């Protein structure tokens, strides 16, 4: 069957960012829902119960900071204050590390500004023994557990106390005791590994769950498909998290296929229940995290969660978003700031105040400063003690074979 | 000593290890119910249950990806890639992840997995069922690469690989599965049960990774070979009458350099044989190392007899395969100078 | 949040085939619909219009061989007789090639028995200049175009007239003039290439479409994901075909994730419209093929089609399904045989008869026999003329560099 | 002659070819609007439109997969992989498809594409922004592998690569993007505008694929190098005073064996330098070929100065990098014997 004479000229669609430096910021296309509007399915509901969730947005906090709807959990002010503290501390940590990078104390840094609620609230849904397979933007998972900042900083500074022995790029932490898997520089690879880890836990009957993390840009990688498929087939205790912060370096989420369907929708094509959540709403993230973790723990199989958020900071310290984003891009973002929103909620329920907030902020900044001073005392990338060159040849294998010993000797060690 | 095939050897090794060590699991395409297209895992699912031996989707990325996650958890996965020619979709997980996990995490996490894959030609498998990609593994630091040439070694090396704390690539020359093969494709097939190299001990034992074996002692020329080529080299030596010392490398990384240097220092002549393509093949590494270490002992140039730098063709398989004739000519040439 | 004490012991789900040699065949789980039941959306309908199609089955021929429902097209008896002829010829060709393989004239062969309708009817929807990216089970695409059988056989026999110069495994044809892309031994790789080819056509404004083919087992490969994603993002003129013949060597489609959701459903996760079709119903395949090809030609973007069928034959001549399928597996298959069904339809509408059928069959078998005799006269894998060893070094590059010339000389050519 | 950076050279080459040849398109992650993280395609989308220069999803599999399909259609795709370290997900499409399409279809279909990727260390990029995986391409028959060491060659070779009818892997030493680099990381950075090697002719021209260039003539030792190491070798020769003949290979496959053999036959001594890991690196192939062809001319063992067999570390970058000191010691050692 040939096309009719009137068939349109063939052409391709090239997805474009809604906004570029020459425009005003515009996120009016982001699909969202009013707070409290989206139902909470039974954890063992049929896939059909999730169909609409892929196109909507679970939100608990409304514009006035009130918790509402079926995803609002019984209030636990202390837990929420802990969450606020974790987010504030993460932000203070990021700010300090960027400064240290600018001072030339290390080569590189990556912030999670604006996305703090996701890692901080999700971590609260996890238990000792669970394992996160994070990306470079989930430092909040460590900070929410009060993992020693000095330890993190020493990794960033590649100094003598860097447990990674200066091998990894800054922010590529590893902390088995915190359920934090070693970060890979290769996007996506850890997503399917999390599925394998969860399979192993289930094979051995261990009551542990795995959590996979990926950016919306990296869902394009092959490992994302493999992870969804294997999770669908074997139904291991894994939660598959997608952090959609709208940007992958310079390319908008539309380039990752976000304009044709949501990232949550991907999972349903594999028969995996999925939810889409306001990632700047601490209460929503926590509620959905609890829900998905419980599903995994109760052998009900994998869940995919798309967290909708916004990357406030540059991609990394090597990046300059003024080259590709609208100048007022951030202010056009409709879902606000996670810290401001949780603060408003806590103040609204009478469990927080401006004064306590300012005091906490100051205390955390002091804590971060003190940690920074201590970390610096162990050296920095270009200055002071660091791992001996002899260590470069360790851990390639459990024991260095002759050729690595020879090479070490050739280097003079 | 009982005899058995290489397939039985591999099956035995996995069977013994699943029974001995609750961390061992095996999986891959058609590996579970059916027991693999070469039947290397036949019966294991029935015996040990699907949680120890199971089928996977046709995704090499996924197979190795979950293996890395499982190994990081503490299991000892033995993953099968149906043909080495199909390992490429898994290459990222092998190179960027399995090989580097221990290093990048300074030992926080490790990746003690085994990836088995049939390799090599000789079965009219054409370009996508015949490849020998060992050099693509030997170049990657953090991987051990093993390739047996007989049932005894296959079983002992595979058990050692499963027990090894590092990731091991385990290449199985498929033309050797059912019998030794010396490259004379037009002669009757010899089964392992009729071969002196067909011994297959029962139960648990290991053959150490990193140790070569001298397949045939000799005084005049050293031959470095592995997999199918060990048998081809033997035929070539017998047929030319050259008193060749044939070393079966068994492990490519870490290499048994001592055995090699000792032999070449004695013979002063070296022929390297492999089936993989020539340029940047593993023979290049062997030649580079030996010329440096044995420079003043070498009497003639080191020769490489290898697969050509073309894809493995179907109809012209035996023009591609580096058979006893080509190896024999290299031996004679080494003796000429 | 920890699991309750009563949480079930963690375990994995291991998909199993519904049937194995120890059972009776059973395909009652295959989701299907009555003939004529499934709607025909407008070609430019919204994705929402396709939602249900992923879980249903478009069928035109009912059990009595009558064409019914919105997908029934105006009857064209001559076109249908051509289709019947193509399917019969394909089956006769397969039977003969298996025999030649058993006679030792070549190393290997793969049949498409039971799946003939898919390639034969789909090819009828295509135009000169379109390009198929087939798997090894789409010989019907060539035969439906009356591509010379002798040419195909010479490839299978790797003889002197094999245009592939004996390089490829039997059945790995290549025929640019027939819009038939060179078959790869690596599953899935061609799926995304088809998307690239269609992008190229659109970039150059050419009115050509690409058709990607893949087995349900191979949808697990990474290239499937890449293809769907790039097709979703750039919307090129491509039709994405999945042939779900229930088996991938020994593993049932459940191992490929077919139990949790259909393969058609995958596409909708990427925002790509998809349909699920009775692959043993020539009329349904043709109707859906026309529909999807028209969408592509009219710049309406990609469509994914899942063809539900059954692999009657062993995977290849190297395979023995009695080791893993129920003995009566085929008879349990509910969608019948495509040739029988089209024949019944044609007889029903008075356009065919048992006598003409028998006569046609005999004629085609004679044609195949004659072609086989001719092909054999040009040599076979182990006997008679074939490509010179010198040709082994050609086509690695456009011109052989010195090292390949040296190697050719070393071989004595 | 005007001067320019290597980034400008690459951008120029693509720009010239998009303008000259309607078949040329370029794409990759961040390549379109932004112009690539190293800005090699900056301005090209604006100038030529999104159908000639566009952003892709973060899928190397997909990037090379569509490139193969486009090339088969008749286009000349120039695909960018953001860092060579991220080429592994595309490896299957490169090895099994791009490299073999012409062969397996006996010329029915071809794959004239270029895959550009920044490689090498020296920017504190650690293990996933520093790799030199050239040997993983040179082992694959059907691929041409090119690596320039200066802007002039980068532009001319890239234009030649785009015009080439075979698939070309185009490696760009990222440490050379903005200036030559001789390994003295503690000295001030020299921009290309200040370097005698910074010449960048305007408009269309080609540098032939398969031809090496003698970067520095000398009588005593031959040095084979490529990319960044050409400059390191030059510094080492100048600093040690060894009269080295430095050959910039420029193309690894097909190799300019004639130039190499001529030089080694003259000097009798050879040092091979590369940044990639040692075992099975491209240096092994060079050593193997040269020892065979120049055996009777060689006066000392061929040495390889390479990256260590470890991942590229972050803090210890300069202990990993084979700098002028290590190369210099090899030169002196070559002169000793
Ligand atoms: C395999 C691979 N390809 C490319 C890159 C380069 N890269 C690093 S981060 C990035 C963008 C990732 O975006 P996204 O997944 O959305 O995460 P985000 O940075 O927004 O958190 C890219 C392309 C990489 N690290 N790995
Ligand atoms: C990358 C890759 N992995 C594995 C194989 C081996 N293999 C060949 S065919 C096949 C089964 C394919 O099943 P399916 O996709 O359902 O197609 P069908 O044979 O049923 O037509 C497998 C596993 C391969 N050819 N390529
Ligand atoms: Mg992002
Ligand atoms: Mg199938």
ipTM of the complex: 0.98
Provide residues with CB under 6 Å of ligand 1.
A 135, 137, 185-187, 215-218, 245, 247-249, 311, 315; D 29, 58, 82, 86, 89
In the three-class reduction of DSSP (H, G, I as helix; E, B as strand; rest coil), residue C131 is classed as strand
Could you give the CA distance from residue A364 to residue A355 in angstroms, rounded to a whole number?
Answer: 14
Residue D75 CA to ligand 2 center (angstroms) comes to: 30
Asked whether the beta carbons of B110 and B72 are under 8 A apart, the reply is yes
* Cβ count near A78 (within 10 Å): 8
Please, are residues B132 and B119 in contact by the beta-carbon 8 Å criterion? yes
Contacts of B141 in chain A (CB under 8 A): 396
Atom of ligand 2 nearest to the CA of C214: 15
Strand order in the sheet with B221-225: B213-216, B244-248, B221-225, B270-277, B303-307
Instruction: Compute, in angstroms, the gap from residue A256 CA to the centroid of ligand 1.
Output: 11
Mean pLDDT of C3-21: 80
User: In chain B, what percentage of residues exceed pLDDT 90?
Assistant: 99
Q: Whose CA is nearest to atom 17 of ligand 2?
A: C215
Residue B116 three-state SS: strand
pLDDT tens digits for range D263-317: 999 999 999 999 999 999 999 999 999 999 999 999 999 999 999 999 999 999 9
d(CA D98, CA D196): 37
Q: Chain C: residue nearest D92 by CA?
A: C189
- Chain A positions touching D85 (Cβ under 8 A) are 185-186
Q: What is the Å distance from ligand 3's center to A245 Cα?
A: 5
Residue B168 has pLDDT above 70, yes or no: yes
What does pLDDT average to over chain C?
A: 96
D129 is catalytic: yes
Determine how β-strand D144-146 pairs with β-strand D251-253.
Answer: antiparallel
Structural contact between residues A411 and D308, judged by C-beta atoms closer than 8 angstroms: yes
Tokens (6 digits) for D14: 């693509």
Per-residue pLDDT reduced to its tens digit, D84-139: 999 999 999 999 999 999 999 999 999 999 999 999 999 999 999 999 999 999 99
Ligand 2 near C242 CB (within 6 A): no
Distance A274 CA to ligand 1 centre (A): 23
* pLDDT score of A5: 52
Q: What is the mean pLDDT of residues C159-185?
A: 97
Lowest mean pLDDT: which of A359-373, C7-21, C322-336, D257-271?
A: C7-21
Q: What are phi and psi of A306, to 5 degrees?
A: -100, 120
pLDDT at residue C4 tops 90: no
Cα radius of gyration rounded to whole Å, chain D: 19
C-alpha separations of A312 from A60, A246, A337 in Å:
22, 10, 10
Query: Quick one: A404 exposed, middle or buried, by C-beta within 10 A (0-12, 13-18, 19+)?
Result: buried
Sign, CA dihedral C213-C215-C220-C221, equals: negative
Closest by CA position to A243, among listed A277, A209, A196, A270: A277
Question: How many Å apart are CA B139 and CA B202, to the nearest integer?
Answer: 35
For residue B318, what is the nearest residue in chain C, using CA coordinates?
A: C389
Torsion of CA A9, A13, A18, A19, to 10 degrees: -80
Contact in structure between A266 and A272 (CB atoms under 8 Å): no
Question: Which of A141, A169, A186, A187 to mutate to test ligand 1, by most ligand atoms within 8 A of the CB atom?
Answer: A187
Distance, C-alpha B43 to centroid of its chain: 24
Q: How far apart are CA D30 and CA A221, in angstroms?
A: 15
Q: What is the pLDDT of residue C2?
A: 40
Contact yes or no for A3/C294 (Cβ under 8 A):
yes
Percent of chain A residues past pLDDT 90, beyond the cut? 92
pLDDT at C3: 43
pLDDT of residue A2: 40
Can you give the pLDDT at residue B101? 98
CA distance A395 to A164: 11
Q: In sequence order, what are the beta bridge partners of C358?
A: none
Residue A313, pLDDT > 90, answer yes
pLDDT digits (tens, 9 = 90+) for C206-234: 999 999 999 999 999 999 999 999 999 99
CA distance C58 to C230: 26
Distance CA A114, CA A334 (A): 12
The whole-angstrom distance between B65's CA and the closest CA on chain A is 5
- D186 near D321, Cβ under 8 Å? no
Distances (CA, A) of A246 to A109, D59, D291: 20, 17, 56
- Looking at A60-163, which runs of residues are DSSP E strands? 131-133
Dist. CA C372–CA C96, nearest whole Å = 8
Identify the pLDDT of residue C37: 95
* Helix (H/G/I), strand (E/B), else coil: A120: helix
For tokens 């994302």, the residue is A224
Q: Which residues of chain A neighbour C1 with C-beta distances below 8 Å? A: 125, 127, 290, 293-294
**Beta partners for B118?**
B172
| Most confident segment among A20-24, A82-86, A331-335, C32-36 | A82-86
pLDDT digits over D184-236, tens only?
999 999 999 999 999 999 999 999 999 999 999 999 999 999 999 999 999 99
DSSP B256-295: -HHHHHHHHHHH--EEEEEEEESTT-HHHHHHHHHHHHST
Token digits of residue B317: 């398989």
Report the run of H or E that residue B136 belongs to, with start and end.
Answer: helix B134-138
Asked if B133 and B84 touch (Cβ cutoff 8 Å), the reply is yes
Mean pLDDT, residues B209-224 taken together: 98
Are C60 and C92 within 8 A, CB to CB? Answer: no
How far is C279 from C295, CA to CA, in rounded Å? 20
Instruction: State the distance from the centre of ligand 1 to the C-alpha of A190, rounded, in angstroms.
Output: 13
* Predicted confidence (pLDDT) per residue in D34-81, tens digit: 999 999 999 999 999 999 999 999 999 999 999 999 999 999 999 999
DSSP output for A23-88: S----TTS----TT-S----TT--GGGGGGGGGS-B--B-TTS-B-STTPPPP-HHHHHHHHHHHH
How many CB pairs (< 8 A) connect A and C?
159
- What are phi and psi for residue B252, nearest 5 degrees? -95, -40
Task: Please choose, from the candidates D81, D177, D169, D40, the residue with its C-alpha nearest in 3D space to the C-alpha of residue D122.
Answer: D177
Q: Can you give the pTM of this predicted structure?
A: 0.98
> Can you tell me the distance from the alpha carbon of B243 to that of A134, in angstroms, rounded to the nearest whole number?
59
Give the nearest partner residue to C226 out of D62, D72, D103, using CB atoms: D62
Question: What's the residue count for chain A?
Answer: 413
3 state SS for D37-63:
CCCCCCCHHHHHCCCCEEECCCCHHHH
**Vertex A385, ends A384 and A386: CA angle to 5°?**
125
Q: Determine the 3-state secondary structure of C308 from DSSP.
A: strand
Partnered with residue C61 across adjacent β-strands are: C67
Please indicate whether, in this complex, the C-beta atoms of B309 and C407 are within 8 angstroms of each other: yes
The structure tokens listed for A4 are 């009719």
Q: Which pLDDT score is estimated for A6?
A: 66
Cross-chain residue pair C12–A271, CB shorter than 8 Å: no
Burial class (CB in 10 A: 0-12, 13-18, 19+), B295: middle
Name the DSSP letter for residue A180: B
Are D304 and B282 within 8 A, CB to CB? no
Q: Which residue has the higher pLDDT, A281 or A1?
A: A281
B224 closest CA partner among B240, B243, B208, B244: B244
Chain C interface disruption, residue of A11, A209, A269, most C CBs within 10 A = A269
Contact D25, A245 (CB under 8 A): no
At residue A9 the predicted structure's pLDDT band, cuts being 50, 70 and 90, is: confident
Report pLDDT for C5.
52
Instruction: Flag whether residue B237 sits within 8 Å of chain A, measured between CB atoms.
Output: no
Q: Tokens standing for C99? A: 């025999």
Distance CA D337, CA D321 (A): 26
Residues in A closer than 8 angstroms to D34, CB to CB, are: 249-251, 323-324
Distance CA D32, CA D49 (A): 9
Q: Cα–Cα distance between B59 and D209 in angstroms, integer?
A: 37
Q: Taking 70 as the threshold, does the pLDDT of residue C6 lie above it? A: no
pLDDT for A18: 79
Q: Which chains, if any, share at least 3 CB pairs under 8 A with chain B? A: A, C, D
Cα C278 from Cα C284, distance rounded (Å): 7
Tokens for B75, please give them.
Answer: 């299991």
Structure tokens at C104: 């030792």
Which chain B residues are Cβ-neighbours of A205 within 8 angstroms? none
* Nearest ligand 1 atom, CA D29: 23
Q: How confident is the model at residue C33 (pLDDT cuts 50, 70, 90)?
A: confident
What contacts C301, CB < 8 A, 6 or more positions away?
A13, C231, C235, C236, C237, C272, C273, C295
3-state secondary structure of D117: strand
**pLDDT for the residue numbered D143:** 98
The answer to whether A101 and A152 have CB atoms below 8 angstroms apart is: no
Q: Per the CB < 8 Å rule, is C398 touching D255?
A: no
Asked if D33 lies within 8 A of A186 by C-beta distance, the reply is no
């Amino acid at each position: 069957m040939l096309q009719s004479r009137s068939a349109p000229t063939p052409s391709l669609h090239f997805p474009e960012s809604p906004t570029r430096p020459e425009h005003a910021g515009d996120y009016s296309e982001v699909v969202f829902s009013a707070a409290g509007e989206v139902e909470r399915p039974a954890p063992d509901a049929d896939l059909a119960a999730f169909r609409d969730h892929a196109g909507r947005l679970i939100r608990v906090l409304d514009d006035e900071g009130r918790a509402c709807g079926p995803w609002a959990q019984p209030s636990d002010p202390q837990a929420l204050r802990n969450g606020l503290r974790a987010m504030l501390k993460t932000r203070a940590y990021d700010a300090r590390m960027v400064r240290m990078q600018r001072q030339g104390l290390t080569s590189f840094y990556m912030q999670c500004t604006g996305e703090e609620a996701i890692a901080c609230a999700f971590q609260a849904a996890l238990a000792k023994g669970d394992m996160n397979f994070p990306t470079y933007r989930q430092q909040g998972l460590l900070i929410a557990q009060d993992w020693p900042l000095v330890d993190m900083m020493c990794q960033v500074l590649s100094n003598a106390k860097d447990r990674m022995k200066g091998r990894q790029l800054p922010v590529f932490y590893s902390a088995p005791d915190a359920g934090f898997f070693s970060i890979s520089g290769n996007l996506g690879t850890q997503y399917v590994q999390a599925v394998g880890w969860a399979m192993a836990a289930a094979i051995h009957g261990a009551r542990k769950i795995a959590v996979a993390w990926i950016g919306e840009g990296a869902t394009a990688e092959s490992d994302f498909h493999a992870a969804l498929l294997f999770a669908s087939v074997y139904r291991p205790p894994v939660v598959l998290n997608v952090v959609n912060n709208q940007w992958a370096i310079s390319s908008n989420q539309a380039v990752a296929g976000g304009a044709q369907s949501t990232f949550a929708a991907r999972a349903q094509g594999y028969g995996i229940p999925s939810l889409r959540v306001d990632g700047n709403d601490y209460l929503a993230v926590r509620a959905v995290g609890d829900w998905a973790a419980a599903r995994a723990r109760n052998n009900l199989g994998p869940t995919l969660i798309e967290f909708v958020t916004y990357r406030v900071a540059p991609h990394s310290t090597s990046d300059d978003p003024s080259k590709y984003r609208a100048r007022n891009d951030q202010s056009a973002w409709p879902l606000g700031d996670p810290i401001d929103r949780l603060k408003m909620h806590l103040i609204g329920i009478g469990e927080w105040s401006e004064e306590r907030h300012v005091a906490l902020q100051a205390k955390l900044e002091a804590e971060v400063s003190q940690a920074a001073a201590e970390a610096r005392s162990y050296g920095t990338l270009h200055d002071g003690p660091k791992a001996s060159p002899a260590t470069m040849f360790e851990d390639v294998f459990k024991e260095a074979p002759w050729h690595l010993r020879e090479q070490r000797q050739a280097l003079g060690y | 000593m009982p005899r058995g095939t290489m397939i039985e050897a591999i099956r035995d090794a996995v069977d013994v290890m699943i029974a001995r060590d609750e961390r061992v699991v095996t999986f891959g395409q058609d590996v579970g119910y059916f027991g693999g297209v070469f039947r290397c895992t036949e019966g294991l699912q029935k015996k040990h249950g699907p949680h120890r031996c199971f089928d996977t989707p046709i995704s090499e990325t996924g197979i190795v990806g979950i293996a890395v996650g499982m190994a990081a958890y503490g299991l000892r996965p033995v993953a099968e890639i149906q043909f080495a020619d199909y390992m490429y979709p898994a290459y990222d997980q092998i190179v960027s992840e399995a090989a580097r996990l221990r290093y990048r995490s300074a030992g926080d996490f490790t990746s003690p997995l085994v990836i088995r894959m049939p390799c090599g030609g000789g079965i009219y498998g054409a370009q996508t069922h015949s490849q020998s990609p060992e050099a693509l593994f030997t170049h990657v630091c953090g991987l051990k690469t093993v390739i047996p040439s007989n049932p005894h070694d296959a079983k002992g090396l595979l058990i050692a690989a499963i027990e090894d704390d590092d990731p091991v690539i385990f290449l199985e020359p498929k033309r050797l599965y059912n019998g030794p093969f010396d490259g004379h494709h037009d002669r009757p097939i010899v089964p392992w049960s009729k071969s002196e190299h067909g011994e297959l001990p029962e139960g648990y034992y290991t053959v150490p990774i990193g140790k070569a074996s001298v397949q045939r002692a000799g005084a005049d020329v050293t031959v470095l070979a592995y997999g199918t080529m060990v048998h081809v080299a033997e035929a070539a030596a017998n047929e030319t009458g050259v008193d060749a010392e044939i070393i079966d490398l068994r492990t490519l990384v870490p290499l048994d350099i001592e055995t090699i240097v000792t032999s070449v220092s004695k013979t002063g002549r070296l022929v390297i044989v492999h089936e993989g393509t020539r340029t940047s093949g593993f023979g290049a590494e062997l030649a580079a190392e030996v010329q440096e270490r044995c420079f003043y002992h070498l009497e003639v140039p080191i020769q490489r007899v290898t697969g050509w730098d073309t894809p493995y063709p179907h109809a012209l398989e035996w023009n591609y395969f580096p058979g006893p004739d080509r190896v024999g000519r290299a031996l004679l040439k080494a003796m000429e100078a």
